A and B are shown apart, each in its own frame.
Chain A
Amino acid sequence: MVGLHKSEFTNPVINWIDTRLPVFTMIQKEYGEFPTPKNFNYFWNFGALAMVNLVIMIATGIFLAMNYQPNSELAFGSIQHIMRDVNYGWLLRYIHQNGASTFFIVTYIHIFRGLYYGSYKAPRELLWILGVVILIIMMATAFMGYVLPWGQMSYWGATVITNLFSAFPVVGPKIVTLLWGGFSVDNPTLNRFFSLHYLLPFLLVGVIFLHVIALHLTGSNNPLGIDVKSPQDTLPFHPYYTAKDSVGICVFLIVLSVLVFFAPNYLGDPNNFIPANPLQTPADIVPEWYFLPYYAILRSVPDKLLGVCLMFGSLLVLFVLPWLDTSKVRSVRFRPIYRVTLLVWVVAVFVLGACGAHKPEGIWVTLSRIGTLYYFAQFLVILPILGKLERPLPLPESISHPVIGGRGGGPLPTGAAAKPMEKA
């Protein structure tokens, strides 16, 4: 279609811009009127929270980069320079450091929400796949970011994780050399990790943009997991969900603030306050808490290549999840057995996290094997079979039906809930 957009905005400046580039119409459509199921619970806050968290990370990161030196001789000291001499440098750094942790907390809950209410099922498969891509980019970014302070755990964590690639036959050692930019983790490694740590978040922004476009095409899932049937089932995004998301954002900021101001190093490792020393291996090399379950999966088998494959497999399996789950019913509310198996899976992930924090000895080996087994069994065995065996509970007719029925079957509301119908 060629021609100017017919803008409905009355403000002449906005109208002039909107006629030529309808961004205001887009915002109005996607964040103003966007019809959103009216029955969201607070689990639906976490996508917005992740977005806010990403903005916080990019904003603090830009200013940290102005004072950081990506050089193996200077990196550790430049962090201390930021912490001690840069005005409010400690605030920027602690927000960035703890923001990484909250980013993973928020994202993991967001993913759990997707699993719990079946948000990955048709027609949202691609939305889910883009989400997995986001998770993987996020993990790579976090890993490289953790290397930048060039403390002992930065250095040895980087050594252990990059070395994993050497397990792959033929190309493995070449990949490792390429990652390192040499024959050990050293200054070139730090340089390229810094460059990539700055690049990947913007790639992340791009993929998140696609994730949101996909979301706005299919529309949101909801706690009942049934499709929107009529305009009565939805509310305009603004002001209903802008108001609800704002509550979540405030609570999120409280959590982040408590970490930043009162326990900034609680989630960190004391070893990273010691400058990197290639000649001295720390007693126990542990990744950041958000990688512990994967680390446990990696170490659960005695074979390096198999461990590496399992670790990457634990992420890759998520890509095909929409096709592994054979049930047509989305929400756990109507899948009593799936609910149990999913919650056991969550327990398994926590157990794997605990295993990852411990040396692979004694009981921890057994636990990590059981955890790993269940992690994969849930996706590869239970989900495909369960969809065929499980008898789901009867689904409600529509989103507004059970809601109103549940409250005594009163008459349809005439107020705000009816408004979107006029707009739609």
Chain B
Amino acid sequence: MSVMTTDIHEQTAVPQPKQHGKPGGFLRHTNIFTGVVTGLVLAIITFAIGSKIVPWGNQNVDFDQVGFQALIGITYIAWVIGFMAGIGAFAGPIRWVLGHDLTHADAEYMAGKGQGRFKYWKYTTDHKVVGIQYLIMTLVLFGLGGFLAMLIRTELGITWAEVFTPNFYNSIIGTHGIVMIIAMIIVVAGPLGNFIMPIMIGARDMAFPRLNALSFWLLFAAVPPLVSNLLLGGIRDGWTVYEPLGSQSPVGMIGYQICIIVFAFSTGIASVNLITTAFTMRARGMSWNRVPIFVIGIISAAIMGLVWFPMFQYSQILALSDRMLATSFFNPLMGGSVWLYENLFWLLGHPEVYVVVIPGTAALIELMTVFLRKPLFSYKMAIAGFAGITGISAIVWVHHMYMTGWAPSAGYPFMLSTELISIPFGFLVLVMLGTMWRGKPWTRLPMMCVYAVIWNKIIGVITGVYLSDVPVDQYMHGSMFVVAHFHYMLMGAGLFAAIGAISYWFPKMTGRMLNERIASIGFWVAFFAFQLTFMSMFVAGLQGMPRRVLQFDNAFNISNWLSTIGAYCIGIGMVIFLFAIITSWRNGKPAPANPWGAKTLEWQTSTPVPLENFPVLPVVTSDPYGYGVPDPYDAVEKKMSEADQPVGAGAR
């Protein structure tokens, strides 16, 4: 247990640099509105000046094409730069150039001291504020992605007519995919990695607070270009935006590419921040044996994101260059290679699914101990599991490319590596099941999420076993079977785990108890509807329905009707859950400091969490899993092994 005193902490006097102006300086005047206005103004000015330079109205079809693409691309970049300038991101570098160091008062202002609610609208460095900002952003992105999913299922459910034209349909499936992927990447590592993890390791903030704010606002800047694609003709491609099909899309595709390029910077910065915080800012006494497993999960996901996201970023930079500069990285007629794009994409694409699933799994493993009042089963196996997945995830990406004909012999080694990665994944399942073994569950919503997620993982893993086998993939690749499989893993095991994690830490983050009656109704409606939706989708895939099609054979009608009904019910369930979150946040019962009786450090500080997290930094003397009573069967074992028995005798 940690040891804390109630002494008031006296700050020793540190020589401060000269205070230039009021604390906070330029950041006193910037917030999200100044950011948006500056971004829009700079974008409009750039477009106006650019359209004079780039003659996009003339008859020369080739230059018209490239020139206009370049113009739109530069306009988006101007939006990003303008927004970051308007939110105050450049204040730091400019201050450094001018030689003004941050004083303590500046740092406190930037951390949001004394600003009340307004700190959430500004470039605030306090990790708790950034965590809440990420939570809101995640909810908005899920709302948008979910809305698009409802449109997709409407089209697929109305089998006797076309609701949308094929182009619009192709655009919304692509936009749904990328919005959901972005939302899933940040859903646990963003709100919880930022808000909870530093408190959990006994730190006052993250290692790089200003980079923390930067990573959030870069994400915020990246989203409007992505969403605007629907107004500019759409991306007309799946979320993977394979080239060369992507280069046939209208200019909306540039929004996608700019979004990913900026989002990759945001992710890289956030990953560096998370890893450095976990490695260097743990409380005294928190050796690696005593680190909560949630932190390990966050580190694994951050490492994978940091190493592999640049691959995705490069694939989009090169595709953008093909568009704006008429290069031919991916144009086979001019010497490029379509396989180059696929490789770059899937080099991230595979580790990314682990970036999505690992933090949620780690959070569930963490909270299981609290709700079962049992220590974590085999902490070392959990570490081995996370480490194994992080390492092996680097060498499995070609299993997304079995059918490309790129390297037929590559099927063998990548089948091997794909099966190998199931072993560390199995360690995590062992830890979850072992913790559950002989435990009495406290049936609150976070614990019930664990059961839901394990069920979804079972289905996801067995269908993943099918897909990992090249001969079977020869039938199933590109069919709805794949779509159902990854929804089971990313949504069933990823999103539902995130719901569990958010409902677990909701009291600490918002200071209120979540209304579990409504939240549970929403959750279970969504869970059972999820089974209906995606089991029917497995059937459609087995029957031979390809993916990304809006019209299909009559044989698949029933599967699609059932999937659509299920999807609508998922939507209703999620809306109910969202309603529970919003109403509980606004006027839920105020939460005590430790409603769950948990032993990790974040529950040992008060709610709402003070600015400096802990009045006195804790000293840790054991791991946070000191639950449970001695096993009664252990006494039997002990007696058995201590008692006299003639060698070779039978049972007593």
Question: Is this pair of chains taken from one and the same complex?
Answer: no
Binding site for B on A (CB under 8 A): none
